Structure 1
Amino acid sequence: MRRLLFFLLFLPMACIDPYVVEVEQGEQLLTVEGTITTAPGPHVVKLTRGDTYGSVFQGLVRPVRQATVIVRDDLGNVTFLRESSEQSGDYLTPAGFVAQVGRSYTLQIQLATGEVYTSLPERVETVPEIQNLDYQVVRIPVEGEINDRSGVQLLVEVNDPSDQNNFYFWRTGVSTFILKTRPDLFTPRPSDVNPSRDPQPKDCCDTCFQSEAISNQGIFIATDDTFNGLSTRIPAGFIEDDGIRFVETHRAQISQISISAEAYRFLRLVKQQTEISGSVFDPPPANIRGNMISLDNPNEVVLGYFMAGAEARSEIYINSTELEFQQPVSIIPDDCRVLPNTSVDPPVDWNP
Structure 2
Amino acid sequence: MTRLVFQKLLIVLVLFNSCVEKIEFDLDRLDRERLIVSGTLTDLAETQFVYLSQTTSNARQPFLEDGDKGLFTLNDLPRPVSRARVRLHSRELGLSWEYRETKPGTYELSGFLPPRPGLEYELEIWVQEKVYRSQPQRMPEVVGEDQLSFSFERARLENNPEAALIAIATEVTLPNQTGGYYLRWTVEEVYFWDLTFFPNPFNTPPPPCYVTEISDAARITLVNGDLLNRPGAVSSQILAKRLVDQSFLSRHYFNVKQLSITKDAHDYWRKVRQLVNNTGSVFDIPPAPIRGNMYHVDDPEEVVLGYFEVAKAKITRIYTTRADVPFFLEEVCEYVPGKRATEYKPTCLSCNVFPNSTSQQPEWWFDQ
- Is 228-237 or 336-345 further displaced after alignment? 336-345
- Deviation by residue 1:42-101 (Cα, 9 ceiling, x = unmatched): 11111111115579642641211222211112315333333333x211111232332210
Q: Larger C-alpha radius of gyration, 1 or 2?
A: 1
**TM-score of the superposition, structure 1-length normalised?**
0.77
The aligned counterpart of 2:173 is 158
For the residues of structure 2 that align with 1:131 and 1:228, how far apart are their CA atoms? 16
SS of 2:274's equivalent? helix
The aligned amino acid for 1:234 is S
Any idea what the Cα deviations from partners look like across 1:13-45, whole Å, max 9, x if unmatched?
A: xxxxxxxxxx99632001111110100121111
* From 86, 109, 115, the counterpart of 1:93: 109
Whole-Å separation in 2 of the counterparts to 1:25 and 1:267: 23
Helix, strand or coil for the counterpart of 2:160? coil
Aligned to 2:55: 50
Whole-angstrom CA distance in 1 between matches of 2:143 and 2:362: 31
Equivalent residue for 1:167? 182
Distance in structure 1 (CA, Å) of the matches to 2:231 and 2:37? 34
2: CA distance, partners of 1:279 / 1:229: 40
Question: Quick check: 1:65 aligned with 2:77?
Answer: no
State which drifts further: 263-272 or 164-173. 164-173
TM-score normalised over the length of structure 2: 0.74
The answer to whether the 8 Å contact 2:148/2:168 transfers is: no
Matched, 1:180 2:194: yes
Corresponding position: 1:268 with 2:270 = yes
2:100 aligns with one of 83, 87, 90: 83
Where in structure 1 are there 5+ consecutive unaligned residues?
1-22, 187-199
The letter of the residue matching 2:269 is: L
Is the CA contact (8 Å cut-off) linking 1:127 and 1:258 kept in structure 2?
Answer: yes
Shift of 1:329: 3.4
Q: Distance in 1 between the 2:360 and 2:45 partners?
A: 27
Match of 1:246, SS state, is helix
Distance in 1 between residues matched to 2:240 and 2:100, nearest whole Å: 30
CA offsets 1:243-302 (integer angstroms, 9 cap, x no match): 122123222211111101110010011011111214245311110001111111111111
| Residue matched to 1:318 | 320
Q: Distance in 2 between matches of 1:273 and 1:285?
A: 7
Summarize deviations over 1:90-132 as a string: whole Å, max 9, x none: 1112323322100011111111x22111111111112334242
Asked whether the equivalents of residues 30 and 303 of structure 1 are also in contact (C-alpha less than 8 Å), the reply is: yes
Where 1:79 maps in the other structure, the secondary structure is strand
Unaligned runs of 5+ residues in structure 2 are 1-27, 63-73, 334-343
**Whole-angstrom distance in 1 between the partners of 2:95 and 2:362:** 39
Cα RMSD between the aligned structures?
3.3
Q: How far did 1:156 drift?
A: 4.1
Task: Say whether 1:331 aligns with 2:332.
Answer: yes
Matches within 5 A, 1:1-352: 26-52=31-57, 57-58=74-75, 60-85=77-102, 87-111=103-127, 113-145=128-160, 147-148=162-163, 150-173=165-188, 175-183=189-197, 205=205, 208=208, 210-217=210-217, 218-224=219-225, 225-226=227-228, 228-235=230-237, 237-238=239-240, 240-280=242-282, 282-324=284-326, 326=327, 328-329=329-330, 331-332=332-333, 333=344, 338-340=350-352, 341-343=357-359, 349-352=365-368
CA contact (8 A) 1:73 1:105 kept: yes
Q: Hey, what's the Cα distance between the residues in 2 that align with 1:312 and 1:256?
A: 5
Pairwise CA distance, 1:177: 2.8
Q: Is the 8 A contact 1:208 1:336 kept in 2?
A: no
**Are residues 77 and 320 of structure 1, via their aligned partners in 2, closer, same or farther at CA, if it must alter by over 3 Å?**
farther
Mapped to 2, the partners of 1:116 and 1:311 lie a distance apart of: 29
The 1:300/1:330 distance shift into structure 2, 3 A limit, reads farther
Deviation string, structure 1 residues 290-324 (Cα, Å, up to 9, x no partner): 11111111111111111001111111122333344
1:312–1:256 Cα change, 3 Å: same
